[in-house]
Structure 1
Amino acid sequence: MNDNKILIVDGMALLFRAYFAQSYSSRRLEDGTPTNAIYGFIQYLFDAVNTFNPTHVLCCWDMGSKTFRTELYSDYKANRPDAPEDLVPQFSLVKDIVAALQIPNIGIEGYEADDCIGTVSQKMSKYGHVYILTGDQDMLQLVTERIHVVIMKKGRSNYAVYDLDFLKEDKGIHPFQVVEMKGLTGDTSDNYPGVKGIGEKTALKLLAEYNSIDGILHNLENLPKSVKAKIEADLDMLHLSRTLARIHTDVPVECSLEECSWEVNLDTATTLFEKYRLTSLLKMIG
């Protein structure tokens, strides 16, 4: 049972990465529908399958920009530009391709793909080792002895695979401290500020000494005056930033191990891959 290797794909992370890597490509269908991002997405997916040899694969997606986080903080991700016009029609098409490969598409309105990934990864880790394929460093908070986060680096088949040891070696923190770091420093890509004036270096030093934000707050009197003043001035944002950073692992999504078994029906896949002019990619798994 524990020999299972479950690959959980961060769908949007892969699709956006594929789009920008393939932006030079004019790959389109006869009706003009662009397919460059889909082509790159499938390449990345098959590269990962060939690298990690999973027994099971599933894919998680964002289901719109409105989530419980935007309700908590209206500026959350407000700095993000709209998706490129020629990427938009590929959102639904790529899910059709994923489904043709008999990979479950998982997403739920009101939550981010991160929360679905967090929930499913914990459930699936009972059955084997989980590998989360993403470009999102926030996922590092999910690392356990049985959950590994695979960060895609520049180029194809170039990964940093984080387990507990490598996370401590590379980042100097434990998984739970990923959230504590975000609370202190904020996250510019998600557009929440943390504590104004506290950078990564200071945050790492504070967490090394006091372990957590709660530990820091219990020792405010021992902090340098300037650091103490910054934290006290931004206490509400400190707590809010930590809340925004924390991935929920109790989202109401279901996916059984059997549903995500990696067994491609080449006949079914070939029909759809021919329709979208992607058949050259099937040889990567054939």
Structure 2
Amino acid sequence: MQQSILLVDGMALLFRGFFATSIRGNFMKNENGVPTNGVYQFLRYLLNAVDTFQPTHVICCWDMGSKTFRTTMYEDYKGNRSAPPEELIPQFDLVKEVVDAFDMPNIGIENFEADDCIGTLARQFSNENEVLILTGDQDILQLVEPGISVAIMRKGQGNYEVFTEENFYEKKGLQPKQIIDLKGLMGDTSDNYPGVKGIGEKTALKLLQEHETIDGLLENIDQLPKGVQTKIKTNLDMLHLSRRLAEIRCDVPIEVSLDKAGWKYNREKVTQKFEELQVNNLIKLLS
């Protein structure tokens, strides 16, 4: 029987949940004074997604610290990000405890990002199953292919934009794999790499629609407008580096047995954890 696997970008949900609630200064502390607002909102997002998409299996992936093979390649990668707010720090461990309470795998591997774990697992599982990735992060769109869809969380609870192999071109004007080259050209301000200075999304999109890939572009560089030629030639090393930074690795050394990822939690165990965190009003969301 074909199964449906939900791969959750844990960091994306936790950060989004934290900032959505902390903006009003509402950190919701438990009896030990530990803030729980990020965990609370993470759970609301997770349970809503499970209710909406009805997966048979759920796996949660995490970053394991800020140093990865990408920071080795480019020291300033994500160098513009400030340290997480102090109220969020204790919630990194708390949220994993909650995921454990659902008997759901927590996956993360040193030196790689959650995206790389998600990419690897999506490829492993999509041969025989339907995979849906839940995130707020557009980078992951490069993984869309037969058997792999991406649900991007939009503003407001339970509001998703689902990208599939069928609707992708219509939504983006590119094929999923071209997203990597798009980011190589235009860079990524949130991950702090520049791409080709002076080339924005509009130009990058047009260049890829005409030449398909960065390689195709470089083969025909003489046909490009003079200004664009100059920008690319001046930033050639950064173009290639940005492309490598943008590409999600799908060969991370991880394996997860689907037997351990079935969405069939022990209600009593989860309820106990919710009570311990003092998020009792989420109990009603449990099926």
Per the shorter chain, which TM-score range? over 0.9
Aligned match of 1:100: 101
1:182 & 1:226 partners in 2: Cα distance? 19
Give the TM-score normalised by structure 2: 0.98
Aligned letter for 1:271?
Answer: Q
Which residue number in structure 1 is paired with residue 274 of structure 2?
273
* Matches for 1:49-198 after TM superposition, within 5 Å: 49-198=50-199
SS in 2 for 1:49: helix
What is the identity, as a one-letter code, of the residue corresponding to 2:17? Answer: A
Q: Which residue identity is paired with 2:129? A: G
User: Match of 1:16?
Assistant: 15
Letter in 2 for 1:189: S
Residue 200 of structure 1 corresponds to 201
In the TM superposition, residue 209 of structure 1 has moved relative to its aligned partner by 1.0
Does the 8 Å CA contact 2:5/2:55 hold for their aligned counterparts?
A: yes
Shift of residue 30 of structure 1? 1.2
- How far the C-alpha of 1:215 sits from its partner, in A, is 0.3
Q: Alignment RMSD, CA only?
A: 0.9
C-alpha deviation, 1:5, in angstroms: 1.0
Q: Distance in 2 between matches of 1:124 and 1:282?
A: 31
Q: In the TM superposition, what are the counterparts of 1:228-239 in structure 2 within 5 Å?
A: 228-239=229-240
| Matched-pair contact (CA < 8 Å) for 2:267–2:286 | no
What's the CA shift string for 1:45-72, capped at 9, x where partnerless?
0000000000000000000000000000
Deviation of 1:202 (Å): 1.1
The superposition leaves residues 176-205 of structure 1 with CA deviations (integer Å, 9 ceiling, x where unpaired) of: 100000000000000000001111111111
- For 1:145 and 1:127, locate their aligned partners in 2 and report how far apart those are by CA, in whole Å: 11
Cα shift readout 1:192-243 (whole Å, capped 9, x = no counterpart): 0000111111111111111100000000111111111110110000000000
**Is the partner of 2:161 in helix, strand or coil?**
strand
State how far apart, in whole Å, the 2-side matches of 1:26 and 1:20 are: 10
1:11-33 C-alpha deviation (Å, 9 max, x unpaired): 00000000011113241111110
Give runs of ≥4 in structure 1 deviating > 6 Å: none
Partner Cα distance (1:201, 1:275) in 2: 50
**Comparing 181-190 and 160-169, the one that deviates more:** 160-169
The CA deviation at 1:126 is 2.2
CA distance in 2, matches of 1:94, 1:73: 30
What SS does structure 2 have at the residue aligned with 1:221?
helix
Matched letter for residue 13 of structure 1: A
Corresponding residue for residue 29 of structure 2: 28
CA distance in 1, matches of 2:12, 2:284: 24
CA distance in 1, matches of 2:20, 2:207: 38
Describe the SS at the equivalent of 2:167. Answer: helix
Ranges in structure 1 where 5+ consecutive residues have no aligned partner = none
